Amino acid sequence: MIIVHHLNNSRSQRILWALEEMGLDYEIRHYQRDAVTNLAPPELKAIHPLGKSPVIEDKGQIIAESSAILDYLARNYGKGKFAPKDDTPDFYRYQYWLHFAEGSAMTPLLLALYVGRLGEAGAPLHPRIDSEIKNHFDYMEAELGKAPYFVGNSLTAADFAMSFPVEIAKGRGMIQSYPNMAKYLAGIQARPAYQQALKKGGEYAYA
């Protein structure tokens, strides 16, 4: 059975959502963030050297990195529903959004988080970070104006990946400025599988 090493309040929640959408049996091993540092507990380092979540175990393999996990699940268990056929235009678009979620969208969001901890010392950096967040959110908003999902008309693993930066837009109080993103998020959060994943995952501040 698939094992998910799941950290509370984290990106790992979208892996549970994917597993629920695919109707798979899985076991959750729960880890709690440190109340002061917000870091994962050291036990996670025994699973993967970075000590971060999500990580899954399946068929003797350890797989880390959200989008790699989501693509693995879609290809191996999605019955053709959550990943477009290889070497098609939609496939390359799907790959693009899987990478964009962590490689592009999260970068200014993480900078905002870390630089925010510097207080006044970080103030000169915020205008640039904020303009990059806007740049990425404006683009996501425009793309969601063309189709209901990031890869056209059906939900794919790229949406599982992209759900997290969109949830952060809501968490930052920015979603009102982005009606397409707001509609997209309301749609995915209303899905029974998303709700079921929330029940199983426990504490999640971004829903």
Q: What is the contact surface with ligand GSH in residues (CB under 6 A)?
A: 7, 10-11, 39-40, 51-54, 65-66, 102
| Shorter beta-carbon distance to ligand GSH: residue 102 or 159 | 102
Instruction: Provide DSSP, 55-112.
Output: EEEETTEEEESHHHHHHHHHHHHSTTSSSPPTTSHHHHHHHHHHHHIIIIIHHHHHHH
| Shorter beta-carbon distance to ligand GSH: residue 17 or 124 | 17
Question: Strand 26-31 and strand 2-7: pairing?
Answer: parallel
Min dist. Cβ of residue 72 to ligand GSH (A): 12
Question: Cα dihedral angle (192, 64, 31, 204), rounded to 10 degrees?
Answer: -40
Min dist. Cβ of residue 112 to ligand GSH (A): 14
Min dist. Cβ of residue 134 to ligand GSH (A): 22
CA atoms of 202 and 97, how far apart (whole Å)? 27
Min dist. Cβ of residue 98 to ligand GSH (A): 10
| Shorter beta-carbon distance to ligand GSH: residue 52 or 136 | 52
Min dist. Cβ of residue 94 to ligand GSH (A): 17
CA atoms of 165 and 203, how far apart (whole Å)? 18
For the four alpha carbons of 81, 104, 13 and 143, in that order, the dihedral sign comes to: negative
Please report which helix (H) or strand (E) contains residue 189, including its range: helix 179-189
| Shorter beta-carbon distance to ligand GSH: residue 33 or 152 | 33
| Shorter beta-carbon distance to ligand GSH: residue 37 or 153 | 37
